[in-house]
Amino acid sequence: MKKAKIYKPNKTAMQSGLGKIDKWILEFKTKDPTRNPLMGWESSSDTYTELKLEFTTKELAVTYAKKNKIDFEVIEPKQRKIVKKSYADNFLN
């Protein structure tokens, strides 16, 4: 049986804003990672690992996984902790 994880991706290091992180990803887990003898890279004969499906909501991703009988794990995103600061706080200490 295929196993997958459903998650919301984090923003990349090159992003300062929160744009383009509103999608949910269904990504299959690899079964047999092996080492390529020629280059030394990690490789696999499992082609499902190359597949990433994007969904607009978590519910759509879960429904798709249930409909196609995919074992899945939902990884909830961590909430950002926003600390409000003032420019004047730099000079008060």
CATH at 84: 3.30.160.190
- Distance separating alpha carbons of residues 92 and 19, to the nearest angstrom: 34
- Distance separating alpha carbons of residues 57 and 24, to the nearest angstrom: 6
Residue 88's domain comprises: 3-92
Partners of 55 in beta bridges: 24
Q: How many domains would you assign to the chain?
A: 1
Contact 72, 26 (CB under 8 A): yes
Q: What is the DSSP letter of 10?
A: P
State pTM to two decimals: 0.70
pLDDT value, residue 1: 60
pLDDT tens per residue across span 28-72: 987 777 777 788 787 777 778 788 999 999 999 999 999 999 999
